[in-house]
Structure 1
Amino acid sequence: MAAAPNFDAIEMQPGQKAEWITKPDPSEVVGCPPGLEYLTQVDQILVHQIVEIFEAITNIEMKNKYAIKNSLGQQMFYAFEESSFCHRFWCKQGRGLDIHVVDNEQKEVMKIVRPFQCCAGCCWCADTDCCSFVIQVEAPPGNIIGYGKQTKSWWYPHLDVLDADKNSIMKIRGPCCFCQTVCCRCDIDFKVMSNDLKDELGVIQKQWSGCIKECFTRADHFGMTFPKDLDVKAKATLIGVLFLIEFMHFEQQNNSG
């Protein structure tokens, strides 16, 4: 496992230290994977990729780092990528990776595993496992609580949110266009739907970060909403799906910029 970062050195922006939310009392939360107690209190999270100055200057892909915050901007978790340089250089958005999610005590509370799949990506063929992007969510690490999986569609991106037994519990329906430019500053919504597609439960949203950040950095910003009473394991799995969407649709866009 990759070493946890030095939290004292983490900065959301140059000169600005991260403000961490107070950790809930684990004894007051029943049936929650240890370390994910924060998620019981929220119906919205923000995921901000931390700007890598070296990457912005050199165009060399670095390991991604993210702050996961509540709607007030208080940080709940810090997430960082573990992957090989060769995968980042040659496979780019299709690379295999692990994302380690740690709390303010530098304890790893969740791991998101994305295997390398050389033939995956085409939405027309995603009904076949070898052609479908998938992500596995573990909390605590080693204990699988859910999966996110690309599913077959003809144009619009479709994903399934699965429980630990690979039963579908929610579905994601995305837009046909992922364009964000100076002339097209709208946010991009991926709707979180009930399993029967009758109810919209929330949204995963790629947010417009502003002209300078979008044009000159590769740092993506996301927001996500879901029912506050949704099972914690399902909320954690949705975080994994958010990262799957990031690498499927927006990492490639940034790399080509």
Structure 2
Amino acid sequence: MQTPGTIPNCPPGLEYLTQINQLLVCQRFDLLEVLGCFATSKKYEVMNNQGHRIYYAEERSNCFLRYLCGPSRRFTMTIYDNVGRDVITMHRTLRSSCCWRNCYVQKLKVEAPPGEKIGYVYQYFHPFSPKFKIKNENKEDVMKIRGPCMLSSCLKDLDFNLLSLDEEIVLGKISKKWAGFMRELFTNADKFGIQFPLNLDVKIKALMLGASFLIVRTTCTLNTGHKFCQLSAKLNNFH
């Protein structure tokens, strides 16, 4: 997609998001992970619903932590536009991926452009369903995200609904696609979609994009099917 013109009150680089109501995020396939179980930094392409790339994303994380902490690791995700300009930066601290402990909730800070906070994504405690709050730059709640019951979501697509603060209105969703047993067994490559109203505030759209990386990289690893696939892959490489 070509770069849109400047839009008032819109962070530079987010002009794309004013024109769309859907995003598709695909992780780039990495042969090293498949052949040698080598934990590499993740790279993604962010596309519109017509398959045109509008952004690409790259993780920066410590190699040692990728092995030691897995999906719970600390990372910085930088999103670039098609001319190579970094337009969004996401920072996640080292936290446990377990939502059973209230003190180990997930937290993501989103900046657009890098260095200017536009908001946060916080996980909050629930014994069965992953739940998150989207906060503005002043840490005021603006929307919520509610996921499926993790006890009944094995081996299928996972939908996380974007809700109003009273949880009465569904405004959009983040969907993690189940790729099939064999692909999930031999690779961690993810594909997920994001839907939101066309007239939603562009900063909230950017925060939803950040929330999708947080959700897919952490909460989805609690899924029984995903854990089984990861274990099977490790045993396969061991033998």
TM over 0.5: yes
Q: Does 1:110 align with 2:88?
A: yes
Distance 1:133 1:74 in 2: 31
Q: Which residue of 2 aligns with 1:100?
A: 78
Q: Which shows bigger deviation, 227-236 or 242-251?
A: 242-251
Give CA-to-partner distance per residue, 1:159-206, whole Å, 9 cap, x none.
1111111111111111113422xxxxx421011111110100011000
The alignment status of 1:157 with 2:133, answered yes or no, reads no
Residue number in structure 2 paired with 1:43? 21
Listed as ranges, the matches of 1:20-59 within 5 Å are: 21-26=1-6, 29-59=7-37
- The alpha-carbon distance between structure 1 residues 217 and 230, as it changes in their structure 2 partners (threshold 3 A), is same
Which structure 2 residues correspond to residues 50-129 of structure 1 after superposition, within 5 A? 50-117=28-95, 120-126=96-102, 128=103
C-alpha offsets along residues 32-65 of structure 1, whole Å, 9 cap, x if unaligned? 1001110000111001011111111111211001
Aligned equivalents of 1:136, 1:199: Cα separation in 2: 25
| Counterpart position of 2:178 | 208
Letter in 2 for 1:135: L
The Cα shift of 1:152 comes to 1.2
Query: By how many angstroms is 1:246 displaced?
Result: 1.2
Q: Which of 197, 218, 221 is the aligned partner of 2:191?
A: 221
Amino acid paired to 1:179: C
Amino acid at match of 2:46: I
Alpha-carbon offset, residue 208 of structure 1: 2.6
Give the SS at the match of 2:213.
helix
Q: Does the C-alpha gap of structure 1 residues 255 and 97 become closer, same or farther in structure 2, counting only changes over 3 Å?
A: farther
Find the residue that maps to 2:218 and give its secondary structure.
helix
1:143/1:255 CA distance change after superposition, 3 Å: farther
Q: Compute the RMSD of aligned alpha carbons.
A: 1.5
**1:248 and 2:218 equivalent?**
yes
> TM-score if structure 2 supplies the norm length?
0.89
Question: Which structure 1 residue ranges, 4+ long, deviate > 3 Å from structure 2?
Answer: 250-257
Deviation, structure 1 residue 215:
3.1
Structure 2 partner of 1:135 = 108
Aligned twin of 2:208: 238
Identity %: 37
- Give 1:189's aligned amino acid: D
Q: CA deviation at 1:69?
A: 0.5
- Cα offsets for 1:99-135 (capped at 9, x unmatched): 0100111110010100113xx3332433x4xx21101
Change (3 A) 1:134 1:104: same
Gaps of at least 5 residues in structure 2 are 234-239
Structure 1 residue 176 and structure 2 residue 149: aligned?
yes
Aligned to 1:18: none
SS at match of 2:220: helix
Q: Distance in 1 between matches of 2:135 and 2:8?
A: 22
Please report how far the alpha carbon of residue 216 of structure 1 lies from its aligned counterpart in structure 2 after TM superposition.
2.5
| Alignment gaps of 5+ in structure 1 | 1-20, 181-185
Provide Cα deviations, 1:73-95, integer angstroms capped at 9, x if missing partner.
10010001000111101011110
